[in-house]
Amino acid sequence: VFFHLPHNAMTTTTTTASLPAQKHWPNTTLLAQGAEARVYLVPINALISFSTDVFSPPSTNQHEKVSTPENKCLFSSSSHFIYKHRLSKSYRHPSLDRSILSSRLSAEARNILRALQCGIQAPFVFRVESDSLWMEYINGIALRNLFENVHERVRHVALCRSVGWDIATMHKSDLIHGDLTTSNLMVRYKHDNDNTSDDKGAEVDWERPVFIDFGLSYVSAHTEDKAVDLYVLERAILSTHKDASELFKAILEGYQSAGWEEAKAVIKTFEAVRLRGRKREMVG
């Protein structure tokens, strides 16, 4: 879970103390701060001096190259990229800490790739390092901010059906996101205007939601895990948005319309999970 900073509080030039020691990039923006990681927006020109290293074979086993030569044009065509740096924990033994960081980042990258292979919109991962990911910057707006414009509610409902369809597609492949919220769902701007801040007035692609932050994702065939994934999203929507029931109802409609045989069983289990949650709230 990340704390998304308001734009007027974003750091436009990050000091070297804020970034990992090896990555002293100028004009770097801190996008999100969490207990487990920091997410930075980095201009692509900051990599000019060593850009060839991004696409060269890794020299050690601690680095895993995800991009291919064909993807180099995709990487260089964007003016920014996302650098996600997972934080070390001082209470863990250094060797254990390195192992945990590396395994979690590798799992996150694999799960993003799994989502992309399912046809889900997600940020492309260019490189996996022992403590960080280099990812595509999604030039768009989070659904959390998009839904503030209540005059577009009809479009919001249609978009939620697409979200439900895509979640069902992920679950069909046994991919559990683990942190479904409207902050971790985005839509891209239709025109690449190189805007790096949420612009509620810009035209967006209403058809294709983009899933981000797979830091808590995992693979599971259990119906209960898929139901809990939906329950987490419902709780996030209810606590954040007006007309929340209408939005989440559309998500469930999209989920059930995806033509997946197990969808009914997941929805039934979700209702049981929801009932357990309500009982806990009543008991306290």
Active-site annotation, residues: 179
Q: Which DSSP string corresponds to 227-265? A: HHHHHHHHHHHHTT-TTHHHHHHHHHHHHHTT--TTHHH
Q: What is the DSSP letter of 61?
A: T
109 close to 101: Cβ distance less than 8 angstroms: no
What b/e sequence results for 142-162 when a residue is b if at least 16 CB atoms lie within 10 Å of its CB, and e otherwise? bbbebbeeeebeeebbebbbb
Task: Tell me whether strands 140-142 and 132-136 are parallel, antiparallel or unpaired.
Answer: unpaired
In whole angstroms, give the CA distance from residue 184 to residue 163: 12
In whole angstroms, give the CA distance from residue 235 to residue 239: 6
- 217 phi, psi to nearest 5 deg: -75, 155
